[in-house]
Structure 1
Amino acid sequence: MKIAIIDDEPLAISSLRRMIENIPATAIVGSARSAASAMHLCEARQPDLVLLDIEMPQMDGMTLARELKQAGNPLVIFITAYDRFAIDAFDVEAIDYVLKPVDPDRLRGAIERARSRLSLRPLMQAVESAALRLHSAAPHPPETPEQPVYWANVGGRTIRIPIADIRHVEACRDYAFIHTGRDRHMVRETMARLETAFEGTALQRIHRSHIVNLDRIQAVSRDTGLRLVTLDSGEEIPVGRRFYGRLVDAIDIAASS
């Protein structure tokens, strides 16, 4: 596995080099101390994995991780002294988030996870290519309106959930629970990211911790200042003050359509 180290601190680079030298089947292809140097390094050496600091001059590590998708799309493990960026790390599909001072065993575990993910890439590419060929060769039935779906990563699988089946979504720290009529699926997603994924559907954010399906709302009420929606299941979900006006507008649009 080819690894690049990107950190603006020379001592941090030296420390990571020493740790990686003790991990079998790894090779350090270079290091960089700035975003520009990192882009040049990744374009030239095409590493499989990048160990990336977050707090750097000129361009932070999160932004750089997005840019690296255009430079060979290496896997990313963040190495940082700050834990407040952990949720953002999942937004850029990082393999892991390792805090400084780096524990060698912790780093080894993260790199092995990256190795496992890397080994699956050819298989996933072959599956996607085969699916594309089958789709091109198959006779296409008359087009019918497609029902929107959400593809959720649940327990190591990606499952298909029709939007119409989702009753509501609730946040739980770094995770979210998607409630359907029969099941509850736990996904590692932020509410902001889910809100973006559901844009243009009947799923509407009504609280910092709740998204509901407008088609499942039976009533909107206020009780001593507390705003609530009642779903067709009988569940009552709180409505945040800053989301209330948007909810009323959405219901008006739905009622008139």
Structure 2
Amino acid sequence: MKAIRTLIVDDEPLARRGLELRLARHADIEIVGEAGNGRHALQAISSLRPQLMFLDVQMPGIDGFGLLRMLPATQIPLTVFVTAYDHYALAAFAASALDYLLKPVDDVRLDESVERARARLAARKTEDHYERLLKIIGTLPAAHRSRIDGFLGDEDPGAGGRLTIKDGNRMVRIDVASIRWIDAAGDYMCIHAGDETHVLRGTMQQLERRLDPRKFARIHRSTIVNLERVDQMRPHVNGEYFLVLDSGHELKLSRSYRDKLKLFT
């Protein structure tokens, strides 16, 4: 039986301990780490590469949704939300997340979550999972959103070095040089710029037309990277590579985009 590498993220030590004890009943669940806040979770995911994560939604500082927005899409583990959220949000979780658990956690529901994780990993549908997670952001109440329902501005950012997006009735200008990478999932995109992540509606094709191809490259069907932010490149498997950014984040260069290797040499 192959172990499922699992990370527990919750700001309450007793809650983490409770999940750990309950998960011990499953022989194939290997707890590889725990994190008490979003910042430590970012580090743990990067170094431990868990396949499954139990994630508390409400945490001080970087909350559960903020953590997901800050991660490269290909590093997001299968995620089970642990929450005390209202029914509106639960409907979104049920439609898009692997699963959600209400506090206090019920053993039967926890077992169901573990079984869902087993089935998803067996079917190798993790890529579909992180696309669904990004779409969750678009269904959240306003207090838990970041730049939702923005549309790309019409102007070319090349001349002024800024990209304009529409956020409700106001325009937000992003310094193009500050963009590290962009993830796309369906009708949503996450623009990771500086310490912020801007989530907006749009397509990769729309955004690619507005970015300088000498500075921004498509390295995956759902990822664009700023070439000037890449510090290292290391081979992976089957012709794939990992790109290490100046922020420490790692992005996968898919073998379908191996022609882009020349841009990094």
TM-score band w.r.t. shorter chain:
0.3 to 0.5
TM-score (norm 2): 0.44
- The normalised TM-score by structure 1 is 0.45
